[in-house]
Structure 1
Amino acid sequence: MSQAFSHQNESPGIDPVAHVVLYQPEIPPNTGNIARSCVAVGAKLWIVQPASFDFSDKRVRRAGLDYWKHLDLQAVDDWAELSNNLPPERMFFFSRFATRSIWDAEFHHGDCFVFGRESSGLPPEIVGPGHPRALRIPTSGNVRSLNLATTAGIVLFEQQRQLQSR
């Protein structure tokens, strides 16, 4: 595991409200924006290697602004290592090919939200067609997909909305 990726925020031991998993991310500003959203809600960010960029890339740092010291971040070498760290029964997988809408899901504290590569999504060995925990964000159909950082933000704040309304 890359030591440059792993650090804990200034409040270790806090139970994260969510776990955001980026599977082999490709675009530095998306990762930076998602990191900032994680800090905003108290979520932990997981990076499944390999990322297509160096985490010290200035575009990643700039997108996350000065919030990096507050981010709970962990990188893992591969999907198997991630699976050993997070409960599969708490994972939701996001794909434009999913048949189930995010609006039909019930989220809880500590859920895991898994997002694929910007160019190709999640591989079928992680989430195949018809997976019961695969979700999509409904769109008008005029776009192939939403930006990864936008999608992660929608998911995190939908979870927050649900948690606050209970």
Structure 2
Amino acid sequence: MGFPIDDRKMKRAGLDYWDKLDITYYDNLEEFMSKMDGHLYLISKFAEKIYAAENFTTAGNHYFMFGREDKGLPEDFMRAHSEKALRIPMNDEHVRSLNLSNTVCMMVYEALRQQDFTGLDLVHEYEHDKLK
């Protein structure tokens, strides 16, 4: 990761969800690639294929890998795995990069949408529902 996960601000941003995470640390990309079991998608503005054209309903785990907002993923890694690259359409004339958290949200919710939001509450009752 490009940031320390044990940082005080990071822990505060995670609120009370940290105990619900199952985090695995890898020493490098090669170790991750050797242990990864599933479908890998490299999200990059340089990819040819648009993310919405991908089928995220195939069986198995789906991994989305994002780089830093300013640099993206390492170029040599991208070249070695270019067939796994997906991009979000944008206008380079006005936007150089997208906010990383927004990009993660877009990708995850597109996959969930294609999977009919399996595991999520499609109908939810709130105790103090302001719309009822």
Do they fold alike, i.e. is TM over 0.5? Answer: yes
1:83 aligned to 2:41? no
Percent sequence identity is: 35
Secondary structure at the counterpart of residue 96 of structure 2: coil
2:70·2:97 contact (CA, 8 Å) conserved in 1? no
Give me the CA root mean square deviation: 2.2
1:145 aligned to 2:91? no
1:101·1:137 contact (CA, 8 Å) conserved in 2? yes
Which residue of the partner structure matches residue 5 of structure 1? none
Which residue of the partner structure matches residue 98 of structure 1? 47
1:112 pairs with 57, 60, 63, which one? Answer: 63
Structure 1 residue runs of 4 or more that deviate by more than 6 Å after TM superposition: none
Cα distance change of structure 1 residues 101 and 130 upon mapping to structure 2, 3 Å threshold: farther
Secondary structure at the counterpart of residue 92 of structure 1: strand
Query: What TM-score do you get using the length of structure 2 for normalisation?
Result: 0.77
Structure-2 separation of matches of 1:65 and 1:130: 35
Q: Which amino acid aligns with 2:29?
A: W
1:99·1:130 contact (CA, 8 Å) conserved in 2? no
5+ residue gaps, structure 2: 119-132
Q: Deviations over 1:103-124 (max 9, x none)?
A: 1111135111111123211112
Structure-2 separation of matches of 1:95 and 1:154: 13
2:66·2:73 contact (CA, 8 Å) conserved in 1? yes
Structure-2 separation of matches of 1:83 and 1:147: 25
**Between Structure 1 and Structure 2, how many residues are aligned?**
115
2:69·2:97 contact (CA, 8 Å) conserved in 1? no
Please report how far the alpha carbon of residue 75 of structure 1 lies from its aligned counterpart in structure 2 after TM superposition.
1.0
